């Protein structure tokens, strides 16, 4: 359990000890919890939302999950005395197992803990399979449980778990049907609303997804996150002015770190560099008294200066590199966390590469922690790839980019995922690795297409065409997949837009004939 108030922490610990045969560890901050998670795992985390001036309980859970400190099976219970819809909505975004509003009674705490423990016991084999990355087994165990019969009091939890597992396994239509069924009974169920949005997004039904999100902005529980989603989809559609418009709807002080980063890149795409720097400087100044958040925004500002230097001629990099080094020095000062030290050293090494000092860059990578990428965030893996490319290690650069792509696919925050995709794409383009990756992704898509797995194949063809937009064959594969699966719109393309885009590309005779045939097929099916 994590509670910053010592009196409340002692009282809560006493209550928990009296409820069941629980072994309870208590911590005053997320920093203490993170240190403990390096040595042991917990089956259940009980978090307070407000933890002093630093990160909130929600931000801690998000960052610990992303870094792999929290297992998939770990239960999450949130406590808060803050009843504002915005805070409740943020907590619910994490899909905790239980949310308790303070002041709670010992009876309600006991009831909720006991209910969670009985649920946990019922699905223990599912949770064990999840921790071992055996998703198919986890799904088959849930199906067996459903066939045998679910205790009425656990039906809601099992449906929620089953839908989540189906989604993670790529069975989007089945997951969507569960969410739709729940929403038919009550259209206010937040986890089902977000589940539906994620299914629509992942299956490429972006117009439906945007329509659903446009309704959700009217809910005080979902408003900010819905605007963040709308901004993220607009970013993927290259509508950077729309990104700015949607994110302007979120109060500046409430703008999350990923959303702030997304906004800075949208500014940069519109040549509004001054506005981008100003945004990060203001967010940084806002959190001067909260060290962890202050350091996060300091690192972000440093990264932004490095990207500015990268895009400038070598003779015009001095000022940006100087600013970046100064900021990295501030954020990396007095740090003992290996992940933060690795981030610091890679940013400084990238600065040295951009400055042409390869000897210094190589020297900065000599520490033991630099080569441990288990908990490295995707954006730093992209920078690491650029550093190793600069040092002549192309193989390692390619491996790190692939690792960044794989890790990014597992992230929960849409804005972070979209922004990292942009960094991975531009990184691969600079390193000349995108076309090679596109060929590999297209081959995997072809195999999925042959097996009749159109939705999964479509995503592969789409990604290949995004990575190598001048390769007509990849666009034609996507077009054929859309037509054969009767899909009028997939992600940022409708069939007409895709046809127009392919027509502008250089086509050999085989591809010309293919395009003519697919154009006829699209007309026949009125797509």
CATH for 58:
3.40.50.2300
Sheet with 98-101, strands from edge to edge, namely 44-48, 75-80, 98-101
Q: What is the DSSP string of 208-270?
A: HHHHHHHHHTTSTTTHHHHHHHHHHHHHHTT-HHHHHHHHHTS-GGG--HHHHHHHHHHHHHT
Instruction: Based on the fold, state whether residues 388 and 254 are members of the same structural domain.
Output: yes
Each residue of 82-94: pLDDT tens digit?
Answer: 999 999 999 998 9
The secondary structure of residue 367, as a DSSP letter, is S
pLDDT band at residue 296 using 50, 70 and 90 as cut-offs: very high
Q: 344 by DSSP, 3-state: which? A: helix
**Is there a single domain that holds both residue 376 and residue 399?**
yes
Domain boundary among 379, 411, 429: 429
Does residue 305 sit in the same domain as residue 257?
yes
Backbone dihedral region of 509: left (phi > 0), alpha (psi from -120 to 50 degrees) or beta? Answer: alpha
Asked if residue 239 belongs to a domain, the reply is no
| Residue 127, in any domain of the structure | no
- The mean pLDDT value for 444-462 works out to 95
- Specify whether 439 is located in the same domain as 379: no
Mean pLDDT of the chain: 94
Q: What are the pLDDT digits (tens) for 335-393? A: 888 999 999 999 999 999 999 999 999 999 999 999 999 999 999 999 999 999 999 99
Domain count, the chain: 4
The answer on 202 and 173 residing in a single domain is yes
Question: Are residues 106 and 144 part of one domain?
Answer: no
Structure letter (DSSP) for residue 2: B
Q: Return d(Cα 1, Cα 371) in angstroms, integer.
A: 32
349 inside domain = yes
Going by C-alpha positions, the residue among 90, 91, 94 that lies closest to residue 79 is: 91
Q: What is the mean pLDDT of residues 438-443?
A: 96
289 or 119: which leads in pLDDT: 119
Residue 242 lies in a domain: no
Is 234 part of a structural domain of the chain? no
Mean pLDDT of 419-441: 94
- Chain centroid, CA 450 distance in Å: 30
Same-domain check for residues 144 and 95: no
Residue at a domain's end among 65, 91, 122: 122
pLDDT at 21: 77
Boundary of a domain, candidates 78, 94, 122? 122
Residue 240 has pLDDT above 90, yes or no: yes
Which CATH number covers residue 479? 1.25.40.10
Would the pLDDT of 190 be above 90? yes
63-72 average pLDDT score: 92
d(CA 189, CA 334): 45
pLDDT digits (tens, 9 = 90+) for 476-488: 999 999 999 999 9
Residues with Cβ within 8 Å of 475's Cβ and at least 6 positions away in sequence, in order, are: 465, 469, 498, 501, 502, 505
If you average pLDDT over residues 122-126, what whole number do you get? 97
Q: What is the pLDDT of residue 416?
A: 94
Instruction: Encode 60-78 in three state secondary structure.
Output: HHHHHHHCCCCCCCCEEEE
DSSP state of 80: E
Residue 378, CB-side half-sphere exposure with 13 Å CA sphere: 26
What is the DSSP code (8-state) at residue 282? H
**Residue 235 domain-assigned (yes or no):** no
Coil, strand, or helix at residue 336? coil
User: 3-state DSSP call for residue 151?
Assistant: coil
Q: Which domain holds residue 389?
A: 249-429
**Does any domain span residue 243?**
no
Q: Do 13 and 118 fall into the same domain?
A: yes
Name the band, by pLDDT with cuts 50, 70 and 90, for residue 19.
Answer: confident
Say yes or no to pLDDT of 224 above 90.
yes
Distance CA 64, CA 79 (A): 18
Average pLDDT for 215-243: 96
- Report the Cα–Cα distance between both ends of the chain, in Å, rounded: 54
Residue 153: count other Cβ atoms within 10 Å of its Cβ.
Answer: 11
Give the pLDDT band (50/70/90) at residue 258.
very high
Give 493's strand partners. 490
Which run of H or of E encompasses 44? strand 44-48
- Phi and psi dihedrals of 171, rounded to 5? -90, 70
Does 268 share its domain with 323?
yes
The confidence score (pLDDT) of residue 15 equals 87
Average pLDDT over residues 448-476: 96
User: Which residues in 259-286 are b (16+ Cβ under 10 Å) and which e?
Assistant: bbbbbbbbbbbeebeeebbebbeebbee
Kindly indicate the confidence band of residue 316, based on its pLDDT and cuts at 50, 70 and 90. very high
| Model confidence band, residue 22 (pLDDT cutoffs 50, 70, 90) | confident
pLDDT (0 to 100) of residue 152: 95
Whether residues 442 and 388 share a domain: the answer is no
Specify which of 99-103, 279-283, 429-433 reaches the highest per-range mean pLDDT: 279-283
Report, as an integer, the average pLDDT of 393-404.
95
Same domain (yes/no): 367, 440: no
What pLDDT is stored for residue 412 in this prediction? 85
Specify whether the CB–CB gap between 145 and 54 falls below 8 A: no
155 vs 149: CA distance, rounded Å = 9
Q: Are residues 307 and 393 in the same domain?
A: yes
Chain centre distance of CA 21: 36
Determine the length of the chain. Answer: 527
């Amino acid at each position: 359990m994590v509670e910053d108030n010592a009196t409340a922490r002692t009282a809560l610990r006493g209550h928990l000890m009296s409820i069941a045969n629980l072994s309870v560890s208590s911590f005053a901050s997320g920093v203490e919890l993170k240190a403990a998670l390096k040595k042991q795992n917990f089956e259940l985390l009980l978090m307070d939302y407000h933890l002093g001036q630093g990160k909130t309980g929600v931000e801690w859970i998000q960052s610990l999950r992303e870094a792999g400190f929290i297992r998939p099976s770990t239960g999450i219970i949130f406590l808060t005395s803050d009843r504002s819809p915005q805070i409740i909505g943020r907590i619910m975004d994490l899909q905790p197992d239980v949310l308790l509003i303070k002041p709670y009674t010992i009876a309600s705490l006991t009831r909720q803990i006991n209910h969670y423990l009985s649920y946990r016991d019922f699905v223990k084999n599912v949770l064990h399979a999840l921790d071992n990355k055996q998703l198919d087994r986890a799904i088959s165990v849930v199906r067996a449980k459903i066939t045998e019969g679910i205790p009425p009091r656990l039906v809601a939890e099992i449906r929620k778990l089953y839908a989540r597992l189906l989604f993670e396994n790529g069975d989007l239509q089945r997951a969507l049907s569960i969410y739709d069924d729940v929403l038919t009974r009550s259209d206010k169920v937040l986890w089902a609303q977000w589940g539906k949005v994620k299914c629509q997004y992942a299956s490429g039904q972006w117009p439906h997804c945007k329509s659903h999100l446009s309704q959700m902005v009217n809910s005080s529980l979902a408003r900010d996150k819905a605007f963040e989603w709308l901004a993220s989809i607009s970013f993927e559609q290259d509508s950077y002015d729309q990104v700015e418009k949607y994110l302007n709807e979120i109060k500046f002080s409430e703008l999350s770190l990923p959303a702030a980063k997304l906004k800075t890149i949208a500014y940069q795409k519109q040549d509004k560099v001054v506005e981008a720097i100003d945004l990060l400087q203001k967010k940084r100044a806002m959190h001067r008294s909260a060290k962890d958040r202050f350091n996060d925004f300091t690192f972000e500002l440093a990264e932004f200066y490095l990207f500015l230097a990268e895009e400038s001629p070598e003779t015009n990099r001095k000022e940006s590199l100087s600013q970046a080094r100064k900021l990295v020095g501030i954020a990396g000062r007095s740090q003992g966390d290996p992940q933060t030290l690795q981030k610091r050293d890679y940013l400084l090494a990238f600065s040295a590469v951009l400055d042409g000092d390869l000897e210094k860059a190589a020297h900065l990578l000599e520490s033991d922690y630099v080569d441990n990428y288990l908990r490295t965030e995707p954006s730093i893996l992209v920078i690491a790839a650029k550093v190793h490319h600069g040092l002549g290690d192309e193989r390692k650069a390619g491996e790190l980019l692939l690792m960044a792509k794989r890790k990014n696919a597992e992230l929960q925050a849409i804005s972070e995922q979209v922004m990292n995709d942009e960094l991975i794409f531009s990184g691969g383009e600079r390193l000349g690795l995108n076309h090679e990756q596109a060929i590999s992704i297209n081959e995997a898509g072809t195999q999925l297409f042959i097996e009749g797995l159109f939705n999964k194949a479509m995503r592969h063809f789409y990604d290949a065409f995004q990575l190598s937009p001048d390769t007509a064959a990849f666009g034609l594969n996507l077009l054929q997949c859309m037509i054969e699966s009767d899909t009028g719109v997939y992600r940022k393309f409708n069939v007409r837009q895709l046809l127009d885009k392919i027509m502008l590309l250089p086509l050999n005779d085989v591809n010309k004939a293919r395009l003519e045939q697919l154009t006829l097929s699209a007309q026949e099916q009125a797509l």
